Chain A
Amino acid sequence: MDEMKIDENGNGRVMEQENERTEGYDRLSYPLKEFKVFEPLFRWARKKSIWIITFCTGCGGIEMPPLMNARYDLERFGMMPNPSPRMADLFLITGYVTPKTLKRIIITYEMMEDPKYIMSHGSCPINGGVYWDSYNVVKQLDRYIPIDVSIAGCMPRVEAVMDGIMEIMRKVERGEADGWKRYRDNYEWYRRNQDELFGKGWRKETARRWLKWL
């Protein structure tokens, strides 16, 4: 677990992997401008209109339909399931994640446009949950993609999910949901962890197979 000790900025000894950076993903290098005047307005708008990408993993997906229905209507907060990764803001990791799913999650997450947020359901993305000794479940998802809000429980009930949603709305309004900034700043560290799990060059080998049009 010594790779966890790398400092927040992603500097330190991971910099020797510079050549990896140039290989595929250079969208992270756009300049980060902040319009100070409009920022409160945009934060309010982001809070009131969070679109969820419809990508459900594991067993938590079945908890989502009740959230959309008449009882806990999510749309009153302006939330909406949206199948297109380009338009979505919130990524729900609903349950355990296998390495095979994690590849899809990373590719989909990188397709989304900043600012983007991740909320994880249940204990499996936190520490493996009931799959703590499984060879094929990702134990600590935070090492591969940045998570803004985690909901504990196995499975969290709908009320708990609602609580997590309120939490992420508060965080978005205060500007604390900065997972996308962490991913941007510590990209080498995340990239190194991903490469450790999947082997180097996995993007080229596997992702191009599904996303031929990229």
Chain B
Amino acid sequence: MIDWKLVLEAIGMVIYATFVGFIFMGIERKAMARIQRRVGPPIYQPIIDVLKLLGKREAISHGFIYDFGPIFALGVSITALLFIPIANFHLFSSNADLIVVAYLLEVPMLGIMLGAMSTGNPYSAVGVQRGLLTMVAMQLPYGLAIIALAQHYGTFSLNSIVALQGIHGWSLFVPALFLAFIVFDITFQAMLGLEPFDIITAPAEVSMGPMVEYGGKHAALLFTQHAVQLFAETAFFTVLFLGGAGNLGVFFLKQLAVLFLAIFIASIFPRFTIDQAAKFFWKWPTILGIIAVLLTMGW
């Protein structure tokens, strides 16, 4: 038997997330432009870009895996999105969805890498190398931040974490979890692919990295994937540290706060090289993460 209400809610949530994700991408570009004292594009610019990419006449393909990569990435992003309790929509929520979401948010990058490697372009290969190294480097602090959270609340369920934050206040204001917040925010920059960790797509060095061979409709798929991913990641951050929300409006405002934090950090820092990024991730965020885990163990 099919739960039609759940199906409708899931479809509505995917459409809402795609739209808001595009608007977030537009806000990102607009805010960056305003910080650099430029006028900047309109905030619906990413939607125009995707329309244009869909309107391309040609679709160059390099084989099955090349087509499969973006679809795989988009599918995983949507799955991750449906596991997160967004406002009062608890779609796929279950007992251990913290672990599921934490890992599903990492997987789309693997899909893009899969497609990128099948093109055989050397720039793609360098980009993929950098991407995998960044992923390996950020896993450790990311995991430590999540362990600290799970230990403090004694549960792996995102629903319970939201409910507990409703009673005891946001986890941002718990001293031990504030350290976890800092660690998570640093890895968040790398997850969004923003400075100082935009090493993967570094346009001036490796010409878009893994995306260099993607054009036209494939690129439109990747843009959509990025929009859903952006929405899911800001939603995950909001749920973990800003206490979730009762309705979509408040949730949107909290996501916006998270996004602006990321934009402000991105607009003042230059880019790390890949060795510096790995060294950085394994030093400061890891130390802070271990302290956070120790603090949540004792008190």
Contacts and interface: CB of A to CB of B under 8 A. Distances in A.
Interface of A: 27, 30, 32-33, 38, 41-42, 44-46, 48-49, 69-70, 73, 75-78, 81-87, 89, 112-115, 213
Interface string B18-43: 00000000000100010011111110
Given A75-B29, A78-B49, A86-B219, A115 B121 contact: no
Contacts, number: 101
Interface stretch (B204-212, B241-249, B262-270, B291-299): B204-212
A75 B57 contact: no
Interface of B: 29, 33, 36-42, 45, 48-49, 51-60, 119-122, 203-204, 207-208, 211-216, 219
| A interface SS class | loop
A42 B216 contact: no
Nearest to A184: B57
A69 B36 CA distance: 9
A30 B58 contact: yes
Contact of B57 (A44, A78, A115): A115
Given A45-B48, A89-B52, 9 more contacts: A70-B38, A75-B40, A75-B41, A76-B40, A84-B213, A86-B215, A113-B58, A113-B60, A213-B119
Contacts of B36: 70
A81 B204 CA distance: 10
A51 to B, nearest CB: 8
A87 B52 contact: no
A77 B120 CA distance: 34
Nearest to A31: B57
Contacts of A41: 51, 55
A48 B40 CA distance: 13
